Amino acid sequence: MSTVQPSAVSGTPLVAEAADAPRSRFARPHHSGVTGTVWWRHALAIVAVIWALFPIVFLISAALNPAGSLTTSQLLPNDISLANFDKLFNDPARPYLTWFKNSMLIATIGAFGQVFIGAASAYAFSRMRFTGRRAGLLSLLLLQMFPALLTFVALYLMFAKIGEIIPALGLSTIGGLALIYLGGAMGANVWLLKGYFDTIPRELDEAAKVDGASHARIFFTMTLRLVMPILVTVFMIAFIGLFSEFMLASIFLRDVDSQTVAVGLWSMSIGNERNRLFGQFAAGSLFCSIPVVMIYLLAQKQLVSGLTSGSVK
């Protein structure tokens, strides 16, 4: 005689019995909302954002504070005015617009020069095989280990002598400083560019050579177009570094009209008038950040592509 299951006789669904079954030891407990294990991550992220935004907010408030002094600066000013910008652009003793123009000119010339020289060198190291190729690459990497500060005295004496023969390339000249900047970061640029050049198939070069193209034509008409993301990346890195460079510019540029914005703003932050000029200093710092922000916004896609693609080799 067959037996009848109790659940079938009583009419209780089998699902109820399954619900009463003991929970598996592998099941994870369900928590709603922010749990006690992750709340500190949110708190840490909020603290990091506040820590990063505090100097920016203070700089903006100081630039818009009409009082224009360090002692009267507040995180949130009572009044908002553009008086500091007006004083900054119309101060005959401190030609800020001239400093800004010099910085833009030096950074643009130096960045384009570094990109061209670095691309030409990287193309040679990537596509050609010659004696001393490996030693040259290692030498460029080895030279980056020495601090640039060791060369300042030699560069100063050398360009002082060059200025006696070619005044346009001597001390306190934009051309002389831009010429120094051309070789400033060649080691890092060549290695970064070479890693990206190696990702370009060599079959493209071989096909162009079959059609009679020379190395120069392949480099200018085909290769540079294919490696445009890394060229934009190197240009951005070089431009931002040269635009904010201070050490060499403060040594070489002694005339007020030939100084860069970094040296000019530094001169406003020292001396007895630094308290009075703090509003102009904040306004100048805020204004000179515009080119850097614009470059990042316009070329952020190329920057990400250039850094990620060139780092795999």
What are 161-206's pLDDT values in tens digits? Answer: 988 898 888 888 888 888 888 876 677 788 888 888 988 888 888 8
Model-wide pTM > 0.75: yes
| Alpha-carbon span 109 to 134, nearest angstrom | 30
Half-sphere exposure of residue 228, counting CA atoms within 13 Å on the CB side? Answer: 8
Q: What percent of the chain has pLDDT over 90?
A: 15
- What pLDDT sits at residue 70? 67
Coil, strand or helix: which one is 76?
A: coil
> How confident is the model at residue 19, as a pLDDT?
47
HSE at residue 257, side-chain half, CA atoms within 13 A, is: 1
Where do we find the tokens 């316009």?
298
Residue 22 DSSP label: P
What kind of architecture, by CATH, is found in domain 96-309? Answer: Orthogonal Bundle (1.10)
DSSP annotation of 220 reads I
Asked which of 17-26, 91-100, 208-217, 276-285 is least confident by mean pLDDT, the reply is 17-26
pLDDT (0 to 100) of residue 29: 52
* C-alpha distances in Å from residue 80, one per residue of 56, 76, 88, 210: 16, 10, 16, 67
Tens digits of residue pLDDT in 198-233 = 888 888 888 888 888 888 888 898 888 888 888 988
User: What span, in angstroms and rounded, lies between the C-alpha atoms of 126 and 193?
Assistant: 9
Give the pLDDT confidence score for residue 185 in this predicted structure. Answer: 65
What mean pLDDT value characterizes the chain?
Answer: 81
Give the pLDDT score at 308.
56
CATH 1.10.3720.10 in the chain, residue ranges: 96-309
Please give the Cα distance from 186 to 197 (Å, whole number): 16
Q: Note the pLDDT of residue 36.
A: 55
Place of tokens 């095989």: 129
Please tell me the least confidently modeled range out of 83-92, 139-148, 153-162, 179-188.
179-188
56 burial via Cβ count (<10 Å: 0-12, 13-18, 19+): exposed
